[in-house]
Structure 1
Amino acid sequence: MAKFHYLIGIAAFALAGCQDQGGKSSDAADGGARDQIRVVGSSTVYPFTTAVAEQFPRKFGSFKAPIVESTGTGAGIKQFCAGVGAKFPDIVNASRQIKKSELDGCTKNGVTEMVELQIGIDGIALGESKAGANMGLTEEDVYKALAANPYGKPNTAKTWKDVNPALPATAIKVFGPPPTSGTRDAFAELILEKGCDANPEMKTLKSSDKDKHKEVCTKVREDGAYVESGENDNLIVQKLVANPDAIGIFGYSFLEENLDKVRGVKLQGVEPTYDTIASYTYPGARPLYIYVKSAHLKAIPGLKEFVGEYASAWNPDGYLKRRGLISAPDDIRAKNLDIATKLTPMDPATVK
């Protein structure tokens, strides 16, 4: 317990010196130094961070279990980047890499250093009820069905058959994440854009007018065909069970957990599975991240130890695999273990 009280003392001293945007002590604004790690962000990464948070106090009895909130990647990064001090989160879960515009916001608010860790791989799975049509789709099918203005023209498709004569004449209804979600961002980049760029004119547009290209290729229709379903991927699974003709978009781990109710939809002829995502054969494969605020590493009790616990859990034989995390390749894991051990700050130049 002496060590615990000593660390609390360090936290009180270090965070008392942290200033928020208005120049007031963040510590004072939050009613005192924090002795508990706080994590916000991605609903996809949430189950993995929660698993580490559950194990953490069992291995490190002198520290409290972290508080983990599912806010979505975009909203979580906004909170994380709002400042340094006790009232701001220590870690943000992210189902995509932080954007340059977000990093600039961090810097503006005094969050000048952070540790970026790729914790593993996930797939943006398309799923349907086991009572569904068992469709196979291409990236272009998905784009034509969901884009607000496919190839620059208003979307008039009502059924999947309107999109592709080989598909069933069932109404297009897709349950998916909101714009604040990293899953939505990755879906736009990995699937919608590729479907859009199947058209030669769109490839040309990308070179001549990048902003127009992004709007045409990634803006989703708002006429009811795409239904925003919040940051709760389990809710999307429930909606698929109740709507057998619908399709859902969510992280692979939620598909794996519910294979008794739903199945994956093949994309480009590839089914979303552990192996196809791990090998990046499945088109929707993507890396997952956590970001740790460097200024909090000495101030928040147990934060360094928590990072170390996370790094020990993401191996192929680690307990996060049982939660559905797909381990990154050996070289990526080795690189990120080194970062986690040394707590090396991210190079801002690597952010797009």
Structure 2
Amino acid sequence: MKKLPLIIAAGLVATASAASARDYIEVVGSSTVYPFTTVVAETFGNKTKFKTPKIESTGTGGGAKLFCAGAGIDTPDITNASRRMKKSEFDTCQKNGVKDIIEVQVGFDGIAFANSKKAPQMTLTRKDIYLALAKTVPGKNPGELVLNPYTTWKDVNPSLPATKIEVLGPPPTSGTRDAFAELALEGGCKTFDFIADFKKSDSALYKATCHEVREDGAFIEAGENDNLIVQKLEANPNALGVFGFSFLDQNSDKVQGSIIDGASLTFDTIADGSYPVSRPLYFYVKSAHIGKVPGIKEFLAEFVSEDSFGDDGYLVEKGLIPLSEEKRAGFREDATKMTSLSM
């Protein structure tokens, strides 16, 4: 009788161990990459013996935080990112035991600055976008920076309509927000010579001036759900929204992208680099989980197949802008050989 508790305890340990094991892949991260990964997951689940992976849209920053929390299988296997992993995120991964990370660039995406088709299409410059949405902007005196005073688009540029500045966009945890700040806001910010000079003399001031978004209601954080932004634009034709090209492509009957610096947002303008607000998309795989969670190696192979992210792959039909054949081959080799990322 004295041995019974030990038998029960051993049984509980075995049960707990079995419960902690996973028989499906967990993916977190970017809302922009989310629809692409979801399609790959569904295809993978249908054509293999493995369970369909669980995909969660947490935003790029949120995904990196979950991914880098540790190497145990209670953490995600893969994280999507609508920008390259930051050095600080990589260092956090290393510190927490996530040593071997496989990096795969999926393709390219353009950031749409879109409005309802019920309203006229906007023609903007990155300078217009900066002046409309930055927290601080040049004042009336030379070299002066002031809190953003502009309330209408006409205030920013006399050629624009006198409608209230109201832009729905992603939160700070989003890779789309990071890319928007770097490509659109900073792109317009550095057209002012005295601010561009800050990059050498005071890099912290330069980043704050060029990346910080105003907090007075003109920019509205709408979460990680890009479909919700599209719905809100339909309901409010005077508003604009910031999200990835794939969502614009999928909702082209409802919303339209603005012309930015003379370039329309299309598949071709992203691919040839003429659209100024475009960025690469990635996902990252935890090598330590390969062999512990079933199907990761096979899922990775599906994602980097020509059927998936190739020129005529099913992801292109969903709005992905593919990499060149040479780059695809390089990332496919990295995935196959499980080459670890270094920074």
Return the TM-score normalized by structure 2. Answer: 0.92
What is the deviation of 1:300?
A: 1.3
**In structure 2, what is the equivalent of residue 183 of structure 1?**
176
Match among 304, 310, 322 for residue 297 of structure 2 = 304
State the secondary structure of the residue aligned to 2:304.
helix
Q: Is the 8 A contact 1:37 1:67 kept in 2?
A: yes
Q: Is the 8 A contact 1:84 1:111 kept in 2?
A: yes
Q: Is the 8 A contact 1:133 1:245 kept in 2?
A: no
**In structure 2, what is the equivalent of residue 346 of structure 1?**
341
**125-134 or 65-74, larger mean C-alpha shift:** 125-134
Aligned-partner Cα distance in 2 for 1:200–1:153: 16
**In structure 2, what is the equivalent of residue 166 of structure 1?**
159
**In structure 2, what is the equivalent of residue 37 of structure 1?**
25
Match among 78, 84, 99 for residue 91 of structure 1 = 78
Aligned-partner Cα distance in 2 for 1:43–1:275: 23
**In structure 1, what is the equivalent of residue 279 of structure 2?**
286
Q: Which amino acid aligns with 1:332?
A: K
Q: Percent identity?
A: 56
What is the deviation of 1:29?
A: 8.1
Q: Is the 8 A contact 1:124 1:284 kept in 2?
A: yes
**In structure 2, what is the equivalent of residue 229 of structure 1?**
222
**In structure 2, what is the equivalent of residue 316 of structure 1?**
311
Q: Which amino acid aligns with 1:322?
A: E
**In structure 2, what is the equivalent of residue 14 of structure 1?**
none
Q: 2:60 aligned with 1:73, yes or no?
A: yes
Match among 188, 199, 206 for residue 199 of structure 2 = 206
Aligned-partner Cα distance in 2 for 1:287–1:30: 39
Q: Which amino acid aligns with 1:93?
A: N
What is the deviation of 1:331?
A: 2.2
What is the deviation of 1:322?
A: 1.5
Aligned-partner Cα distance in 2 for 1:138–1:126: 11
Aligned-partner Cα distance in 2 for 1:79–1:199: 38
Q: 2:134 aligned with 1:121, yes or no?
A: no
CA root-mean-square deviation: 1.4
Aligned-partner Cα distance in 2 for 1:124–1:268: 13
**248-257 or 146-155, larger mean C-alpha shift:** 146-155
Query: For residues 181-232 of structure 1, what are the alpha-carbon distances to aligned partners after superposition, in whole Å with 9 as ceiling and x for unaligned?
Result: 0000000011101100000011110111111100011110011100100000
Aligned-partner Cα distance in 2 for 1:55–1:325: 16
For the structure 1 residues 192 and 98, does the alpha-carbon distance in structure 2 shift closer, same or farther, using more than 3 Å as the test?
Answer: same
Q: Which amino acid aligns with 2:34?
A: Y
Q: Is the 8 A contact 2:20 2:74 kept in 1?
A: no
**In structure 1, what is the equivalent of residue 253 of structure 2?**
260
Q: 2:43 aligned with 1:55, yes or no?
A: yes
**Greater radius of gyration (CA):** 2
Q: Is the 8 A contact 1:241 1:261 kept in 2?
A: yes
Aligned-partner Cα distance in 2 for 1:265–1:314: 27
Query: For residues 217-274 of structure 1, what are the alpha-carbon distances to aligned partners after superposition, in whole Å with 9 as ceiling and x for unaligned?
Result: 1110011100100000011111111111111100000000011111110000101000
Task: Give every structure 1 segment of 4 or more consecutive aligned residues whose post-TM-superposition deviation is greater than 3 Å.
Answer: 27-31
Q: Which amino acid aligns with 1:100?
A: K
What is the deviation of 1:28?
A: 5.9
Name stretches of at least 5 consecutive residues in structure 2 with no aligned partner. Answer: 1-12, 139-144
Q: Is the 8 A contact 2:28 2:58 kept in 1?
A: yes
Aligned residues: 322
Q: Which amino acid aligns with 1:128?
A: N
